[in-house]
A and B are shown apart, each in its own frame.
Chain A
Amino acid sequence: MESDDAALVSRIREGSERAFNLLIDRHQQAVRGFLRRLLASPADADDIAQETFLAVWEGAGQYRGGSSVRSWLCAIAWRKAKSAQRSWFRQRARETDWQAEGAGPGPDDGASPEDRLAVRKALMALPIEQRAAVALCLAEGFSHAEAAEALGAPLGTVKSHVTRGRERLLETLNEIPGADSWQNGAEGARR
């Protein structure tokens, strides 16, 4: 898979449209998932994800091959997200978008809306570096080393960000009632 990805990037460097399409199909979920958990608005997240893939098309030659393509993509997304975060007004204007767009229950994901909202809110309350580490390691399944590569941070820092962030999210969930009541209610409604 890794060598496949590296081959895709070298074909993109030569201008292959097909390789570019394949790369998008293969990695859009990871990049968008990471950005959606990092930024307040899903629209902003998708916007930056698109910019990330455009940057890959224009700068595929910058991939050195030392890290995985997935980490490289998330590193680009991370840099772009950080510079977007600096635009405070943009963030303020859209910071409640997620409540409208992302608060409804997903299809069979098994999470109650209360849990989703609480976790989302707690994630947004974390410092951005900690949030990024949590998003990559807990939600996207990156290893600590991969996340450290993507975020350009020392491994120990990433590990401590993930541990602290996870504790904070668990504390938040502990403060609201369990999901059982929601699941029972949802099943009752289905019947």
Chain B
Amino acid sequence: MTDLETRLDRALAADAPPARDPMFRIAVLERRARAGFRRRLVAASGLAFGVAILASVILATWDAGVLDAMPAAERLAAAAAAGVVLAAVTAAPYLGGLTALRGLMARAAWTLRAMPRPRLWL
């Protein structure tokens, strides 16, 4: 190896990052956590908005007499059930619902990709 080649090797090696860099790993994990949080927040907001729209449409079209005719206990149970549904929908992205959905979609994509493709020409 000539002197020039040695100098080139050294100059190229000089810019190498350290072999172990926990700060870099922490930066990646932090970025992943932030991206996940942002995604879950958007999903939760979207779902909550959707449920709110749905609830207002139902309330607007529902005959008020039906609710009045309900016994108090049943009315309470219906309100509680609606609350639980809203809470579950809002919390789903934070409780792994989004991951499960993504997993299902990925599995479906794999299955579709693995299926034999129909021949479109003769």
Contacts and interface: CB of A to CB of B under 8 A. Distances in A.
Nearest to B5: A170
B69 interface: no
B10 A61 contact: no
Most chain B CB within 10 A, of A36, A102, A111, A112, is at A111
Interface stretch (B18-26, B47-55, B56-64, B75-83): B18-26
A49 B19 CA distance: 14
15 contacts: A15-B99, A25-B20, A29-B18, A32-B24, A36-B17, A50-B24, A50-B27, A53-B28, A61-B110, A105-B14, A109-B13, A111-B7, A115-B7, A169-B8, A179-B10
Nearest to B18: A29
A37 B10 contact: no
Given A54-B35, A61-B106, A178-B7, A102 B15 contact: yes
A3 interface: no
A138 interface: yes
Contacts of A109: 10, 13-14
B4 interface: yes
A105 B8 CA distance: 15
Contacts of A170: 4-5, 8
Contact of B7 (A24, A138, A173): A173
Interface of B: 3-5, 7-21, 24-25, 27-29, 31-32, 35, 99, 106, 110
Contacts of B24: 24, 28, 32, 46, 49-50
Nearest to B20: A25
A169 B5 CA distance: 10
A174 interface: yes
- Interface size class on chain A is 35 or more
**Majority secondary structure, B binding face:** helix
A173 B27 contact: no
In the A-B complex, list the 4 residue pairs whose CB atoms are closest, starting with the nearest.
A111-B10, A119-B11, A109-B14, A111-B14
Interface of A: 15, 21, 24-25, 28-29, 32-33, 36-37, 46, 49-50, 53-54, 57, 61, 102, 105-106, 109-112, 115-116, 118-120, 138-139, 166, 169-170, 173-174, 178-179
A184 B82 CA distance: 80
Contacts of B99: 15
A147 to B, nearest CB: 14
Contacts of A118: 11
Contacts of A53: 28
Contacts of A37: 12, 15
Nearest to B12: A139
Given A111-B14, A138-B12, A28 B25 contact: yes
Contacts of A115: 7, 10-11
Given A28-B17, A54-B28, A105-B14, 9 more contacts: A46-B27, A53-B28, A106-B14, A111-B10, A111-B11, A115-B10, A116-B11, A116-B14, A119-B8
